[in-house]
């Protein structure tokens, strides 16, 4: 797979992509209730609403799945990002996992080409945030953006 990134074309190693996609298949896919809005974002830890948001989606320690009903948070689930330490194709895997989990929006400060492309194609809203806020404070911002 080849794409242009920061003005230079580079290719991803097919074996790395295969490994990433296998790891993504092992990550949970959560059921989504009718009428709920799902937001996926990255966190540095998994301490519930006290967790610290991480603006670097692809290489964070955890991915958080928040389900909203109206402006109420119905559930918060954390998944260890098993591919965070890899390079060269992580965005492909993260994008697939986000789509598989039927996200309505993601929160991120920095996203790569593959995540951007997938979110645009699937019409998943991108809420930009660059500050490492606690999840309880970030939720207030998310509610206004949904």
Q: pLDDT tens-digit profile of 44-88? A: 999 999 999 999 999 999 999 999 999 899 999 999 999 998 888
Structure pTM? 0.90
The per-residue pLDDT for range 3-28, each reduced to its tens digit, is: 444 434 457 889 999 999 999 999 99
Of the CA atoms within 13 Å of residue 126, those in its CB half-sphere come to 18
> Cα(118)–Cα(50) distance, rounded to whole angstroms?
29
Enumerate the H helices of the chain as residue ranges: 14-25, 90-100, 113-122, 135-145
Which residues are registered as beta bridge partners of 67?
38, 75
**Cα of 55 vs its chain's centroid, Å:** 10
CATH number of the domain that residue 136 is part of: 3.30.420.130
User: Which residue in 71, 115, 111, 110 sits closest to 97, CA to CA?
Assistant: 115
3-state SS, residue 125: strand
Q: Which domain holds residue 121?
A: 2-145
Spatial distance between the Cα atoms of 17 and 96, rounded to a whole number of angstroms:
12
Rounded CA-CA distance 58/50 in Å is: 21
Residue 129 and residue 138 in contact, taking contact as beta carbons nearer than 8 Å: yes
What is the pLDDT at residue 10? Answer: 57
Q: 135 with 64: CB under 8 angstroms?
A: yes
The residue among 37, 58, 35 whose CA lies nearest residue 110 is: 58
Structural domains of the chain, count: 1
Residues, the chain, total?
146
Mean pLDDT, to the nearest integer, of 34-39? Answer: 98
Mean pLDDT for 99-128 is 94
């Amino acid at each position: 797979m080849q794409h242009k990134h920061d003005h230079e074309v580079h290719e991803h190693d097919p074996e790395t992509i295969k490994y990433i996609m296998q790891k993504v298949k092992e990550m949970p896919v959560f059921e989504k209730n009718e009428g709920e809005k799902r937001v996926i974002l990255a966190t540095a830890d998994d301490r519930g609403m006290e967790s610290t948001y991480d603006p670097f989606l692809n290489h964070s320690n955890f991915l958080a799945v928040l389900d909203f009903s109206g402006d109420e948070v119905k559930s918060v689930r954390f998944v260890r990002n098993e591919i965070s330490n890899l390079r060269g194709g992580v965005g492909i895997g993260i994008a697939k996992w986000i789509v598989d989990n039927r996200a309505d929006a993601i929160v991120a400060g920095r996203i790569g080409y593959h995540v951007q492309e997938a979110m645009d194609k699937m019409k998943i809203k991108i809420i930009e945030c660059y500050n490492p806020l606690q999840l309880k404070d970030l939720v207030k911002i998310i509610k206004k953006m949904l």
